[in-house]
Amino acid sequence: MLKIRVIPCLTIKGQKLVKSVRFAEHRNIGSYIAAVRVFNVRDVDELILLDLDAHSRGIERWLIEEVTKECFMPVTLGGGVKTIEDVQQLLSAGADKVSMNTGALERPELIREASERYGSQCVVVSIDAKQEGDQWNVYKNGGVISAGKDVVSWAREVERLGAGEILLNSIDRDGVMEGYDTELIHAVAQAVRIPVIALGGAGIPEHCVDAVRAGASAVSAASIFQYTQATPQMIKAALKNAGFPARD
């Protein structure tokens, strides 16, 4: 079994570090550069940074370069990725991986194009999932518009098109800190062979253990690092105590 990765997720809106609850109520929680510097010394495995405004105003290269110059760990950048040129721009600005969401839903061939040109290891497809009845549906445009797709079916499609990883974000659990949607994680992890990064719901380290038990290959989180005393090392210790390999 590959070692489980612990990946903080930072979201930017209005050029500020923000945290949402169920994709709404975005609260300004400080400087994204200060957060990057903190995680540099906290032994995180990777970092995910999503620019929530980029889908409407485009990618701001200066902002991306500001982050990558400060970031000493592998970083996945996302927000506003609509074309292969956008992927190139983020990679050339220092991203190790590029996350795409709405752009991939509106033109799925973008996944194949990026994978064939840069390698599947660079391509992360972010899936924003919301439970409706007995299934989870995919949402786009920051969780505002239904994409008319079932999450499990879309996960299979992005794998077929060449995605290297799936960032699986539960809209229902976002910012609530009551635990990941383990049923959602299990359903997607059982449907695909590529790694699934669980996001949305971590409030204590044990929630991360639950996500891995459900099938996640990595755990990503935001609120737990902003609003509690939990650290990435505490999550790694909880994973190891539960019998899961984690990076030192």
Give the predicted TM-score (pTM) of the model.
0.97
Q: Whole-number mean pLDDT of the chain?
A: 96
| Domains in the chain: ranges and CATH | 5-241 (3.20.20.70)
Do 77 and 122 contact (CB within 8 A), yes or no?
no
Residue 169: its pLDDT value, please?
98
Tens of pLDDT, residues 52-87: 999 888 899 899 999 999 999 999 999 999 999 999
Residue 2: its pLDDT value, please?
86
Tens of pLDDT, residues 151-180: 999 999 999 999 999 999 999 999 999 999
Residue 188: its pLDDT value, please?
98
Residue 211: its pLDDT value, please?
98
* 86 to 36, 54, 67: CA distances (angstroms): 23, 11, 17
Do 19 and 203 contact (CB within 8 A), yes or no?
no
* 151 to 81, 131, 213, 222: CA distances (angstroms): 20, 9, 20, 22
Which of the two residues, 56 and 31, has the higher pLDDT score? Answer: 31
**Residue corresponding to tokens 């973008």:** 110
| Pairing label, strands 47-51, 5-13 | parallel
Do 99 and 78 contact (CB within 8 A), yes or no?
yes
Average pLDDT over residues 15-36: 93
